[in-house]
Structure 1
Amino acid sequence: MLILFACLALGILCRRFARLPDGIVPGINWWVLNIALPALVLALVPHVTIDARLWFPVVGMYVTFFGAWALFATLGRVFAWSPARVGCLTLVCGLGNTSFMGYPMMEALHGKAGLSVAVIADQLGCFPMLAAGGIVVASMYSGRGASAAAIVRRVLTFPAFISLVIGVVVGRVGGWPEVVEKVMLQIGSTLTPLALFSVGLQFRLHLQRDQIGALATGLGWKLLLAPLVVYGMGVAAGIGGLTLTVGVLQAAMAPMISAAILADQYDLEPRLANTMLGAGILLCLVTVPLGNMLLP
């Protein structure tokens, strides 16, 4: 958890005091999405065990994403928001930081048993949503060729999606050799520090006046409404115990780092995306433990 704040703070300080080279942010973001994230997916996905009893935390991630899409598309029509804003809110507040924040927080709150449920929610829920749904939303709302063929092509060529498919196949045949997995994990470990450093370089608290309402609405969905919806779904389905608790808390995690970077690459209100990410990380450290106290 400390590295999240250290790298975010370093980015903010370097933006203010250091002489940075041109193109540093696009360069870092390219590495995160095209090298570090695929390496992490390749390393982790082969270890995921599919268990029909753990459908709830996975479906909870889908409900969070598609609920965000439906909510912000509706609000976009009501408040005449630009397509870029609707796409930004859907991406950043529909996808949660279920790995780099979710893993350590669930392990701290519920031990290894909680961590195992958190991994299922992340690997079978958030990663597929980022690799497929995230590209669909980014393509549609950025105006960069939103035809069905173009969207399908971008999904199929998105490095994280390709890695997801390869990881599933490798897992079925026994996994990677230990030395290969170790290399991929080491490359993947660069994702968090570099991504948070990039966010810090772009972090702004001084939003335009008309962005403040969007910020509050987005974080209200991600940190409060989405977990409440997922909790209601779980109770209605008879889910209880640790599976219910971890599934709800994963839905309540701060926005996903990679989703904010994807919004930046597709020019979907990058300043709003990065501010929601930074503010969401800070608020999440309070809201998730409070939510945990109210759950079974």
Structure 2
Amino acid sequence: MDTFYHLGRGILVIVVLYVLAVLMRRRGVLTEEHSSVLAHIVTDLCLPAMIFVTLARRSVRLDQLGPAFVMLGLEITCIALAWVVSVWMGLKRAQQGAVVFCSAFGSSTFLGYPIIMAMFPHKTAALTEAVLISEIGVGYPIFILGPLLAMYFGSEGSDSGFDWSASLAFFRSPVFFALVLGILWGCLKLPGQDNFYLAPLFQVCHVLAAALTPLAILSVGLMFRIPSMRSIFFALALVIVLKLLFKPILAGLCAFLFGFPKLWRDVLVLLAAMPPAILGAVFLKRYGGDASLASTLLLAASLVSSVTLLFVFWLVG
């Protein structure tokens, strides 16, 4: 019951912010063009701050990385499958990007952490494993591959090929520098937020990180259009099958084959069953992909996940 409550509460937050964004757009307070501004703020300011403070305070033990690498493998598998099937379905490149992002990357931080904490309130090992899976198995791929994939799928006007030189922009972006700085900070065990001189820096980063989720959802919500179900049916069906069913079931099977402890298996399955990540639509908006389709798929899949998550966890959890 706690699982359903926390999942429902998280989805309700998404829906409410979506509705607020749509209402503000209808009243003229915000326009769809503002979604690009919000996307820039998220990817160039809030996201780097969140990455840095998350990595700077954490050291990783090698024996805990098994589930994280399984999740990483699942994400790459889902990217490949979604890409191949969407091409076979005859979708345009921009539409392929929406399907790929929604099929591969899950909302492990926004929805995953509250559910894990609710299900395992007295087991710190569960949250520790969830953080490792989320940051290494989900965070790193979407932080690194996300901009590169979004640049590719956003190059709709040039089907002749992808400008790989443009992808190098990621390695000059705030996200990349935050990744490198955060990893080095954590590995070198440099002073953190408890340090008198560094406390203001970390406090600013925490404030910016806290703004990531609402700004990201507002950015995505401004792009939302009520679609014709016929136009998105096959894309949505593919996302549901790959992201909400195939990925968590395969995660449970991999955990069993690798002999992971039951706690690790439960955490891995739950995080794999999360609905699509909000950042996918933000990246697509930032780099010219079909963010409107991604926004629609994200909201629809989030609603469906309230049923599929419980079913999958009952099946393989």
Q: Which residue of 2 aligns with 1:228?
A: 249
User: Secondary structure in 2 aligned to 1:49?
Assistant: coil
Q: Which residue of 2 aligns with 1:103?
A: 113
1:29 is aligned, of 36, 39, 45, to 39
Instruction: Give the TM-score of the pair, scaled to structure 2.
Output: 0.85
Moved more, 140-149 or 93-102: 140-149
Q: Which residue of 1 aligns with 2:3?
A: none
Distance of 2:95 and 2:60 partners within structure 1? 36
Distance of 2:250 and 2:215 partners within structure 1? 33
Q: Which residue of 1 aligns with 2:302?
A: 281
1:116 is aligned, of 128, 131, 138, to 128
By how many angstroms is 1:120 displaced? Answer: 0.6
Q: Which residue of 2 aligns with 1:253?
A: 274
By how many angstroms is 1:66 displaced? Answer: 1.3
Letter in 1 for 2:147: I
Q: Deviations over 1:57-83 (max 9, x none)?
A: 312332232122221222134222222
Q: Are the counterparts in 2 of residues 87 and 141 from structure 1 also a CA contact under 8 Å?
A: yes
Q: Which residue of 2 aligns with 1:165?
A: 180
1:155 is aligned, of 164, 170, 190, to 170
Q: Which residue of 2 aligns with 1:46?
A: 56
Distance of 2:59 and 2:80 partners within structure 1? 31
Moved more, 282-291 or 108-117: 282-291
Does the alignment pair 1:93 with 2:103? yes
Structure 1 unaligned segments of length 5 or more: list them: none
Q: Are the counterparts in 1 of residues 275 and 298 from structure 2 also a CA contact under 8 Å?
A: yes
Instruction: Give the TM-score of the pair, scaled to structure 1.
Output: 0.90
Q: Which residue of 2 aligns with 1:214?
A: 235
Q: Deviations over 1:186-211 (max 9, x none)?
A: 11100111111222222233147333
Structure 2 unaligned segments of length 5 or more: list them: 1-9
Q: Are the counterparts in 2 of residues 63 and 230 from structure 1 also a CA contact under 8 Å?
A: no
Distance of 2:72 and 2:286 partners within structure 1? 23
User: Secondary structure in 1 aligned to 2:108?
Assistant: coil
Letter in 1 for 2:166: A
Does the alignment pair 1:11 with 2:21? yes
By how many angstroms is 1:260 displaced? Answer: 1.1
Moved more, 196-205 or 38-47: 196-205
Distance of 2:127 and 2:277 partners within structure 1? 18
The 1:192–1:107 alpha-carbon spacing in structure 2 relative to 1, beyond 3 Å, is same
Q: Are the counterparts in 1 of residues 48 and 178 from structure 2 also a CA contact under 8 Å?
A: yes
The 1:174–1:55 alpha-carbon spacing in structure 2 relative to 1, beyond 3 Å, is closer
Q: Which residue of 2 aligns with 1:263?
A: 284
By how many angstroms is 1:18 displaced? Answer: 4.5
Q: Are the counterparts in 1 of residues 154 and 287 from structure 2 also a CA contact under 8 Å?
A: yes
Q: Are the counterparts in 2 of residues 60 and 248 from structure 1 also a CA contact under 8 Å?
A: no
> Structure 1 vs Structure 2: percent identity of aligned residues?
26
User: Secondary structure in 2 aligned to 1:202?
Assistant: coil
Q: Are the counterparts in 2 of residues 203 and 278 from structure 1 also a CA contact under 8 Å?
A: no
User: Secondary structure in 2 aligned to 1:80?
Assistant: coil
Letter in 1 for 2:52: L
Letter in 1 for 2:222: L
Q: Which residue of 2 aligns with 1:146?
A: 162
Letter in 2 for 1:53: D
Q: Deviations over 1:189-244 (max 9, x none)?
A: 00111111222222233147333211221122111111112222221111231111
